[in-house]
Amino acid sequence: MAFYLRSGLLPGLLALLSATAQAQTTPAAPSDTLRKAEVLQHPDATAQQTPGTLTLRPVAGGRARILVPAAFRPLDKDAISLKYPIQGGPQEAYSDNALAVNLAFRQGPNPMTQAQLSADIADKMVKAFSARQPGFKDLGHGLKTINGRQVVYLEFMADVPLSDKPNDRVYNLMFITDAGGQVLVCTFNCVERLQKQWQPAAQQIMNSLQVP
């Protein structure tokens, strides 16, 4: 199942932070990458029920590090475009084989500094998502310090846009900081039936974020 923020929300979010988002070059895909053909075929219908081992790995072109489930596989550029068919989607994404649990990243080119990050950004995100994201339910938002850095976060539930299953809902944790002078947007999501197992891991993943 492909699920994502409603079309226009991520670019709108980046506009709140600074300028309109633009695409960046995606790094070469590792050999274990999930490719477009596999995404179309849904290679494994069984979602990963528990996080398992979490491994600290570089993301955003090496500008940050974060815990990623060891069993997750990176998606190549074409697979990302298929799974996130929206303007301003992520540049880097990781999923379990069922594509039911996902971790994605988008960086820049919007300028951002630690001084610009504030709880007001989280409040604006809640207002924007409440107006445009079907089934939006705020589970918590604000500003926190993670490994010495200011991070804006928003935790929420939402319906799956364009889903053929009207009762589909998704748990989301979005968190934002700066890296290399640019905004870094990180998103974790999973289907609602896996929320209980994955919500603590999502928060652990967020709290592991390191930006040198």
Domains of the chain: 52-208 (3.40.1000.10)
The mean-pLDDT minimum among 5-14, 19-28, 46-55, 65-74 falls in: 19-28
Alpha-carbon span 60 to 101, nearest angstrom: 19
What percent of the chain is modeled with pLDDT above 70? 77
Q: Tell me the average pLDDT across 111-136.
A: 95
Per residue in 187-207, pLDDT (tens digit) is 999 999 999 999 999 999 999
Dump pLDDT digits (tens) for 94-118.
Answer: 998 888 899 999 998 889 999 999 9
Q: Name the most confidently modeled range: 82-86, 96-100, 118-122.
A: 118-122
C-alpha 150/C-alpha 138 separation (Å) is: 21
Q: Does residue 150 carry a pLDDT above 80?
A: yes
Is residue 8 predicted with pLDDT exceeding 80?
A: no
Please report which confidence band the pLDDT of residue 158 belongs to, taking 50, 70 and 90 as the band edges: very high
Choose the weakest-confidence range: 42-51, 53-62, 126-135, 142-151: 42-51
Task: Kindly state the average pLDDT of the residues 43-49.
Answer: 70
Rounded CA separation 131/120 (Å): 17
Spatial neighbors of 186 by CB under 8 A, at least 6 apart, are 59, 66, 103, 104, 105, 174, 175, 176, 206, 209
> Is there a contact between 190 and 100 (Cβ–Cβ < 8 Å)?
yes
Please report, rounded to a whole number, the percentage of residues in the chain having pLDDT higher than 90. 57
Confidence class for position 81, pLDDT limits 50, 70, 90: confident
CA–CA gap between residue 198 and residue 204 (Å, rounded): 10
Cβ atoms of residues 143 and 151 within 8 Å: yes
Please report, as a single letter, which amino acid is at residue 10: L
Q: Is the peptide bond before 90 cis (omega within 30 degrees of 0)?
A: no
Between 178 and 10, residue with greater pLDDT: 178
Q: Residue 202: its pLDDT value, please?
A: 98
- Per-residue pLDDT for 19 more than 50? no
Per-residue model confidence (pLDDT) at position 170 = 94
Categorize the per-residue pLDDT at 4 as very low, low, confident or very high, splitting at 50, 70 and 90.
very low
